[in-house]
Structure 1
């Protein structure tokens, strides 16, 4: 059971990253929320270095593949992400803020290691940032008022990628913390999957939410789009 769950998690997250890269370049946006992207990239690079130096572990090679895939998603954020921010945010401020988030993400990972040691830090930080990611995907869908940069494939694979280690560590290894946080991840992931399915069936719902609702008898003036 352990190898199967580990392989399922590795495959599912690889699918998430591949589809995030595909949709990111296709729609010229980033497909993973910034804070989650920063924490994921910091986690993967930190534990890739740890697991591939000294006694090499198979997980280290998986982390390396994930880190390289995440690097492409990081590129989509800095290349296309400015368009997702308000117009008053200059590109220099956007780049500085993104850099700050990535630097803070590394600080968080290293503080976990300093507090709990490598083994426990890897588990605790991974599940906490997955819980954050599950909430941020819902927030991203709401903020973008639709499925730009999001797919059902990412939603389902993300859920399975976290569910498998929840069973492996939370149930089989008897970790109450991992089991509890992992189940919370599933709750948010299933909500997100439901929202994605609903928006796929009602593609005009997001656009309709953008339109102002006039009071009875009031005629709204025609709107014009101002170039950036």
Structure 2
């Protein structure tokens, strides 16, 4: 005898993940997928530029490893649609540069880790994420990386907020990176809605990371204004920050130490 009250929501008769892609006109697909590819491409280029200027990574280091794991695995290792493989390969080229910057500048954000430990853990994340992406994509029969991509987007968007808080300044970041990332992610979500209208998990993941992206835009803008750094000045002086307490750049192989300049203010922690 069942003593609990009846459940409120019955399980789907057909698992949504088994429902194939909708028949989307080519023009509509290009209208949503095109800005996705372009938005993230611009994000990567701007992040590379900003990291070169500030000597701090433009994209959180461990998420760079996850991005590369996703792009490499779904380009060369696991079956994917031809269109998605080409887009992934293009992104991968720029992420290789971002990974190189992460290996060089990433330790500055983790003063509690030696450079060697940081690099080994970064490699470990890359390998582990590659396995998870392949197994997960195969589990869902995710032929265009939609499920795995949307799942990764949530921690990726959150990591930018954590990076801003932990670093205590806008070093390595810019409003243009934030906006380009938001545009790319938003259109990725629209692509998911158009191609897989019955996949409800995507309908939860997309609003989640879009809200996180918008929150990051607002927080970064506030931080830059407090620092006296013009938010929309594309050629403004490179943002710099004081090295976190306990960090050491001498002999670490992470490049020259940042100059004293735009450092964290007392109210940065509440950005």
Do 2:63 and 2:156's aligned partners in 1 also have CA atoms closer than 8 Å?
A: yes
Cα distance per residue 1:98-151 (max 9 Å; x no partner): 11111111121122034222427x111101111111111000000001111111
Q: CA deviation at 1:81?
A: 1.6
Report if aligned partners of 2:74, 2:134 keep a CA contact under 8 Å in 1. no
TM normalised by structure 1 equals 0.83
SS at match of 2:106: helix
Secondary structure of the 2:266 match is helix
| Deviation string, structure 1 residues 168-220 (Cα, Å, up to 9, x no partner) | 22255313221221011111111000011111221169622289xxxxxxxxx
- Normalised by the length of structure 2, the TM-score is 0.70
**Contact 1:170/1:176, CA 8 A, preserved across alignment:** no
Match of 1:13 in 2: 40
Q: How does 1:1-228 map to 2 (within 5 A)?
A: 1-49=28-76, 57-86=82-111, 89-119=113-143, 122-171=145-194, 173-174=196-197, 175-203=199-227, 207-209=264-266
Question: Aligned equivalents of 1:164 and 1:22: distance in 2?
Answer: 23
Q: Of Structure 1 and Structure 2, which has the larger fraction of its residues in helix?
A: 1
Q: Structure 2 vs 1, CA of residues 160 and 59 (structure 1 numbering), >3 Å: closer, same or farther?
A: same
Consecutive unaligned residues of structure 1, counting only runs of 5 or more, are 212-228
Q: Structure 1 CA distance, aligned partners of 2:219 and 2:54?
A: 20
Q: Matched residues in 1 for 2:175 and 2:138: separation?
A: 37
Deviation at 1:41, TM superposition (A): 0.6
Count of residue pairs brought into register by the alignment? 207
Per the alignment, residue 225 of structure 1 pairs with none
What 5-or-longer segments of structure 2 have no aligned partner?
1-27, 229-261
Shift of the 206–198 alpha-carbon distance from structure 1 to 2, 3 Å rule, reads: farther
Structure 1 residue 50, shift from structure 2 partner: 5.3
Segment of structure 1 superposing worse, 5-14 or 150-159: 150-159
Partners of 2:37 and 2:87 within 8 A in 1: yes
CA distances 1:153-182 after superposition (whole Å, capped 9, x unpaired): 111111111111212222553132212210
